[in-house]
A and B are shown apart, each in its own frame.
Chain A
Amino acid sequence: MNTPNWTTTVAWLVRDTFRQSLASGVCWLLLATSAISTLVCLSVTVEGQSPLAAPGENPEFLPRGDRDAADPKYAAKEGVAIVSGNVKLGFGSISVPLARDAKSAVCNLELLFAGGVADTLGLLLTLVWTAGFLPQFLDRRHISVLLTKPAPRWCLLAGKYIGVLSFVLVHALLFVGGTWLALGLKTGVWYLSYWWCVPLLVLHFAIFFGFSLLLAVTTRSTVVCVFGSILFWFVCWGMNFGRHTLVLSQQLAPDATFSSSLTWLAEAGYWILPKPADFSFLLFDALDAQGYFRQQFDLQALRDAGFFSLELSVLTSLAFTAYLFAASARQFAQTDY
């Protein structure tokens, strides 16, 4: 008899997680979400697809409502283009005038899908739908037999955690791949940066599922995992958003006085806790959306003042996740079942 190595154990637990997701219906729920989103993308058409500027040229344009745009001769003389065309949704049932050109319209839609559907709503729903996986796995009547297998306890926990992350990765690939392909086919705009959403979504999920893992190991309750992880996401989001607001307020109004304890608390909370709002900014950056849309915060101002570093933000979020996993593994190793 050989003791199985940890990779074998993890591989079997990943396989078990996929079977669990099929049986629980979570797999079908996520597939349905991806299918509906892809269908929405297939219903999109963009009219007036020509770019407003040649490559390398300054993309100057006049909005269609501009007074000067009423005189095409004037615009032609000044060398600027006038926005025209529409983006149609729902197989032509909804028509929205283009704000700029086809690329900006596709970027807008992809930002909506990546940031709104997947990174916020999708993330929270996936956290809720997968919250029961670990408490079910850690049920005393089930886990007691698995604990008599030679794999170390941390390995069992890692296998299940990686299993859920692999499951989310597969669905993130399906979601991004489906919507990217559909939008590309329908509009002719193939926006490769959109694929950055996949690792970002999985990373974002990994952080908050890490908290769910700790709750599952401590309480073995699905209800606690659901509400605890969602509440934690909101707390982190609030802390992240609040800290940036505070720092920018200090920048904008240097004479204003802020309580030092409040500033200290915001800084400590920001650097210790995961940073979901920063992940949204990262997604914004990854999609090159700053060329088309205004960001919630003037991140450049924060960066220039030395208050924001994307790399540090991601690294500290990952460090917190590593801590969550270590704490969960320690708790799991010490628990009597």
Chain B
Amino acid sequence: MATDQIAAEFQQVWKIYPCGLWPRRSVQALRGVNLTIPTGSIYGLIGPNRAGKTTLMKLLLSIVHPSRGMVKRLGAPVTDRSTLAQIGYVHDSQAFPTYLTARSLLEYYGALSGVCSVARRLAIAARLDEVGLSDRSSEPIATYSKGMLQRLALAQALINDPELLVLDEPAEGMDLLARQLLHDVLTERHQQGRTAILVSHSLADIQRVCDHVAVLKYGEVAFAGRMDELLGREHNGSADLEEILKPIYASTEPYMNTAP
């Protein structure tokens, strides 16, 4: 795969967290992960709790540092922070400054992402409209519900029209309409040839929008490839992702190690 066709790349990535004051222990969150995320894909990342999904995304976004291995983002090593200008990120427990309004938050975060003032003004109006917060945009964030915060988080992630969108449990607290909005955003970006990574426990959501999927378990990649490959190869073409994943989640050994 050519470099410009790769949105994110992990090569033999390990992440070991120190744990406890005394005795000092360590927890292996990721163990030699190899994964390539092609440009233009909607990539689903699934796995049981403590599989290392969030850590993997945080490594990609330079929020945590790898213990070993190499991580590339949009063709450049993650140490090159300039590529972050083309990234959007939503996670499940956003805590925005509650003294800001939705509009001022988007202005602030847009400026930090490098969006110029004219483009920012247009983008703020468009994103607020898109996530359905235009009518509440001048109210303090402190008055927002969990679902509204997640909508705002989505608007914030899209403010710089990113090449790579990383969504870690974005549907947490979202109602049906908001979930539909999320699917629409992902589908639209897929059509535009942009990349998105969706981390979720909702297998239905993953199956519905993702064309690629990786299954993580105990810090290792148990499966990585096209969604139809997983669905077709493993369950005679059955569309029930939950049934397919049950044995993977239940097994103690990594299911298989494949790199696309």
Contact = CB atoms under 8 A, between A and B. Distances in A.
A23 B82 contact: no
A8 B161 CA distance: 20
Contacts of B156: 145
A141 B115 CA distance: 23
B64 A336 contact: yes
8 shortest A-B CB distances, which residue pairs? A23-B99, A141-B95, A336-B64, A149-B112, A150-B84, A150-B85, A4-B114, A148-B89
Interface in A123-153: 139, 141-142, 144-152
Interface string A145-163: 1111111100000000000
A148 B87 contact: yes
Contacts of A152: 81
29 contacts: A2-B114, A2-B116, A3-B81, A3-B85, A4-B111, A4-B113, A12-B108, A15-B108, A20-B97, A23-B97, A23-B99, A141-B91, A141-B94, A142-B95, A144-B63, A145-B89, A145-B94, A145-B153, A145-B156, A147-B61, A147-B62, A148-B87, A149-B112, A149-B113, A150-B81, A150-B83, A150-B113, A151-B81, A337-B63
A22 interface: yes
B259 to A, nearest CB: 26
A33 B81 CA distance: 43
Interface residues of B, number: 37
Contacts of B160: 1
Contacts of A20: 97, 99
The size class of the interface chain A forms with chain B is 20 to 34
Contacts of B116: 2
Interface of A: 1-4, 8-9, 12, 15-16, 19-20, 22-24, 139, 141-142, 144-152, 334, 336-337
Contact of A12 (B84, B89, B111): B111
Contacts of A148: 61-63, 84, 87, 89
A149 B99 contact: no
B85 A1 contact: yes
A10 to B, nearest CB: 11
Contacts of B93: 141
Nearest to A152: B81
A15 to B, nearest CB: 8
Interface of B: 17, 58, 61-65, 81-87, 89, 91, 93-100, 104, 108-109, 111-116, 153, 156, 160-161
A4 B81 CA distance: 11
B99 A145 contact: no
A282 to B, nearest CB: 36
Contacts of A336: 17, 58, 63-65
Nearest to B162: A1
B99 A19 contact: yes
A144 B96 CA distance: 10
A146 B112 CA distance: 8
Contacts of A334: 65
B61 A1 contact: no
B91 A145 contact: yes
Contacts of B82: 3, 150
B108 A147 contact: no
Which of A12, A19, A141, A145 is the most central at the interface, judged by chain B CB atoms within 10 Å of its CB?
A: A145
Given A141-B93, A142-B95, A147 B111 contact: no
Contacts of B108: 12, 15-16
Contact of B63 (A19, A139, A147): A147
A19 B111 contact: no
A144 B86 contact: no
A337 B64 contact: yes
Contact of B112 (A9, A22, A139): A9
A19 B85 CA distance: 25
Given A3-B85, A145-B89, 10 more contacts: A1-B115, A1-B160, A19-B104, A142-B96, A144-B91, A147-B62, A147-B63, A149-B84, A150-B85, A151-B81
Which of B62, B81, B91 is the most central at the interface, judged by chain A CB atoms within 10 Å of its CB?
A: B81
Contacts of A16: 97, 108
A15 B99 CA distance: 13
Contact of B97 (A142, A144, A147): A142
A150 B95 contact: no
Contacts of A8: 111
Which of B64, B87, B91, B113 is the most central at the interface, judged by chain A CB atoms within 10 Å of its CB?
A: B113
Contacts of B111: 4, 8, 12
B109 A145 contact: yes
A162 to B, nearest CB: 15
B64 A151 contact: no
A3 B114 contact: yes
A27 to B, nearest CB: 11
A219 to B, nearest CB: 13
Given A12-B111, A139-B95, A337-B64, A2 B100 contact: no
A23 B95 CA distance: 16
Contacts of B94: 141, 145
A9 B81 CA distance: 14
Nearest to B153: A145
B109 A149 contact: yes
Contact of A19 (B89, B100, B115): B100
Given A1-B85, A3-B82, A12 B112 contact: yes
Nearest to B98: A23
Contacts of B17: 336
